[in-house]
Each structure stands twice: as structure tokens, then as C-alpha cells.
Amino acid sequence: ESCNGCGNCFTGCNNGAKNSLDKNYLVIAKKFGAEIFTKIYVNHIEYLKKENEYLVFFNDLNFSKFGIESNKLQKIKAKKVIL
């Protein structure tokens, strides 16, 4: 749909006229194999030159997603990282 001029843009488009991250970019990224994490606190990122990958150190604020206490620092390897 096109914009109806309601003025509620600041809370997100209520009639679907505007694209948003959750409707386009994240959907496309997921289709191409991206893993999307929410409620994650990234502590730091290290670049592993030999492996051409990144090591992301984080705390899981979801608590149960990884089955580990959220206050423990965890890590995951990634070829690309977008914050």
C-alpha cells in the first residue's frame, strides 16, 4: 500500500506502506543463511586473521536461548558480523 498520510510514522507504519528492517533486510539475510540474534550484549569482537573469521564474545540476555546462564561470557565464530 502507499502512504495514507496518517502521521504515525514515528511508531512504525500501521498500514504497511514503508519498508522496515523486519520486513525486508532481515528476511532477505535469513534466506541467505544469516543467523539473527536478539537481546545479546556484545562484550567484544576479535578478528582471527588466520581463519579470516570473527570471534564474538557476548552475554545472552534471553537466558535460555543457549542453555547457559546469561551472566557467563559466551563466544561464537562468524565469517561476517553486522551490529
Rounded average pLDDT over 25-39: 88
Provide the 8-state DSSP code for 71: T
Confidence of residue 31 (pLDDT cuts 50, 70, 90): very high
Confidence of residue 60 (pLDDT cuts 50, 70, 90): confident
- Edge-to-edge strand ranges of the sheet holding 74-78: 40-48, 53-60, 74-78
Provide the 8-state DSSP code for 10: G
Q: Which three cell numbers stand for residue 58?
A: 557476548
Helix (H, G, I), strand (E, B) or coil at 35: coil
Please report, for residues 15, 29, 30, the alpha-carbon distance to residue 42 in angstroms, rounded to integers and kept in the order given: 34, 20, 20
Q: How far apart are CA 77 and CA 58, in angstroms?
A: 11
